[in-house]
Amino acid sequence: MAKDSLSVAKVIEVIAEGKTIEDAINNAALKAHETVRHVKHVNVENIQAMVENGEIHTFRVNAKVTFLIE
């Protein structure tokens, strides 16, 4: 294996909300991007639907975000 093909990555946990599940996942990636560079993957661990007055109001995701270390 070539030396240049090896990478070091870290994983952080992010909780984010959105009007749709897709929005919540995108918000998790954007939130992570505010503090780290080279975000590569978002792995959704849990999805919750937040209910108000009997209707789904927002979605919340617990996600593990992987990013590369320079």
Residues 2-53 have pLDDT tens digits of 556 778 999 999 999 999 999 999 999 999 999 999 999 999 999 999 999 9
Give the global pTM.
Answer: 0.82
Q: What is the C-alpha to C-alpha distance for residues 16 and 10, in angstroms, rounded to an integer? A: 19
Count of beta carbons in the 10 Å neighbourhood of residue 62? 16
| 3 state SS of 25 | helix
Q: What is the C-alpha to C-alpha distance for residues 36 and 10, in angstroms, rounded to an integer? A: 10
Closest alpha carbon to 29 in 17, 42, 44, 20? 42
**Per-residue pLDDT at 63 exceeds 80:** yes
